[in-house]
Structure 1
C-alpha cells in the first residue's frame, strides 16, 4: 500500500461478484467523495466503487491545495497505482472529468488494457476554450455569486462564512486548474470514452463536449442526459444505468 493511500482512496462498495471491475470516481471542484456514496445500491454487483479524496475535504481539510496539474496527477496516480493495475474504469465530473482524463493518459500508458472505460460528464473537451471571465480571477464575493449561479453548492454553505472559510480555498484552487486546463498531450487516450452532458447545462453543453470524440483512440459516444450541470446528483438513476450498461463484460 502506498503510504498515503488510506487518506486518498475511499472504498464505498465492494464487488460481490467475480470477476470484478473497479469504478474510480472524481468529484467536481471542492466536491466531497461522499457524493458517490449514494451510488452503491445502483451499481451492478460486479462493480467495486471507489472515490478519491483530494485536499480540502474531511481529514484532509487543512492540507495545501494543488497549484499545478503535474504534481496533482503524479500524487493521485501514486495513491491509486495498486487499483489501476487491475481492471478499472474512471469517472469524473466537471473538474473531476478533466482529472479522470489526465489520469487515463497515465493509466493506459502504464497498465495497457486495464482502463476498461473512461466516463466524463459536465466537462468541456480539451480543444474547447474556457469561457470568460475566469471565475478564479473574480473577487471573493463575485466568485461566491458565480458558484451560487452554478447551483451545485448548497445555499446553507455559501451563506455560512465560517464554513466557507474552510471550503472556499479548495473550490477556488480546483476551479483555477479546471479553467486553465487545455490539451496537454496532443493525442487521445487508448480506452473507450463515454462523455455526457446535461440537456439544460449552461456551462458544459453539447457544443463544448462534442470534441471528446477526438480524444480517444477507441470507440466514443456523447450522450445527452436529463438535467443541468449537476445531473449526476439530480438524475442519478439515469447516469447509473449508463455506467452499468457500459461496464457489462468490462472485467
Structure 2
C-alpha cells in the first residue's frame, strides 16, 4: 500500500510530512479529544520525528460518523489503520483514554512481531488498576462539570448549545468504551514503557501511574510533571524531550 493511499484513511492525521525522519510517533487522544490535541507536540518534534495521530470517529471532520463505544473495536480499528505506517520504527503515545488504547495496540503489534520503540502512557492509571466507573452514566450537566474540573475543556463550549450537541455524543461514547474496558492478563510488553503524569492529577495517583511497571517486561520509567490531568499541554517541550529519548533521536 502506498503512502498516498494510507494518507486517505479517516483514522490517520499527519500534521506535516517528515520524509527525512527515521522514526514516527503515533499519538492517541483522550476521551472526547481529537487528533489536533497533539499538534503542538508535532510542531516541537518535526522534522526529527514524523508525528501522526489517530482521529476517532464522531468528532471534528468525522462528526457525522457513528462513535465507537467499545474499547476492543476502537483498538482493532486503530491498529488496522496504523499497520501500513509500520514501515519505520515507531513509538506510541496515548493521553488518558488514549493511553489504554495505545497499550492494547502495542500488545497486538508485538503479537504480530512488530515491537514499538516504546509506549508512553500519559495521564492514565495502569490497566492493572481498578477502572474508574460512573462517569458515562452522568447527565450532561454533571458530565460537563466533571470535564471542567479537569481543565481540559474550553469554557466557551459550555455556552454554545449547538457545539455542545456536536461533541457530547463523542465524549459520552468514549467514557462508555473506557468504563467497559477490562484488562486481560497476558505477556508483558517487551518495548520500554514510560508513564507520564501530573503531580496534581485528580484522576491518577502516583501509585496508579507507577503501576504501569506491571505491564513492562524490560524497561520502565515514571516521569512526573507539574500540573493536573492535562499537564501535557503545559509541558510540550519537556514531553518532546522524553519522546526523543525513547526514540533515540
TM, length-normalised to structure 2: 0.92
What do the CA deviations read for 1:6-63 (whole angstroms, capped 9, x no partner)?
A: 2111111333535x11101011111121121122332163311101111122221011
Mapped to 2, the partners of 1:41 and 1:76 lie a distance apart of 23
The residue aligned with 1:189 is 189
With over 3 angstroms needed to count, the CA separation of the structure-2 counterparts of 1:247 and 1:44, relative to structure 1, is: farther
Query: Where does residue 231 of structure 1 map in the other structure?
Result: 231
1:198-209 matches, within 5 Å, as 198-209=198-209
CA–CA distance in structure 2, aligned partners of residues 184 and 248 of structure 1: 31
Find the residue that maps to 1:136 and give its secondary structure: coil
User: What is the CA-CA distance between 1:188 and the residue it aligns to?
Assistant: 2.0
Q: Distance in 1 between matches of 2:52 and 2:216?
A: 23
Quote the Cα distance in structure 2 between the aligned partners of 1:39 and 1:69. Answer: 25
* 1:13-162 matches, cutoff 5 A: 13-15=16-18, 17-18=20-21, 20-43=22-45, 45-113=47-115, 115-132=116-133, 134-162=134-162
Whole-Å Cα distance in 2 between the matches of residues 169 and 44 of structure 1? 33
Q: CA RMSD in A?
A: 1.9
> Which segments of 5 or more consecutive residues in structure 1 lack a partner in the other structure?
none
Superposed displacement of residue 135, structure 1: 0.6
User: What is the TM-score of this pair, normalised by structure 1?
Assistant: 0.91
Shift in CA distance, 239/4, structure 1 to aligned 2, threshold 3 Å: closer
Structure 2: distance between partners of 1:9 and 1:131: 28
Aligned length: 246
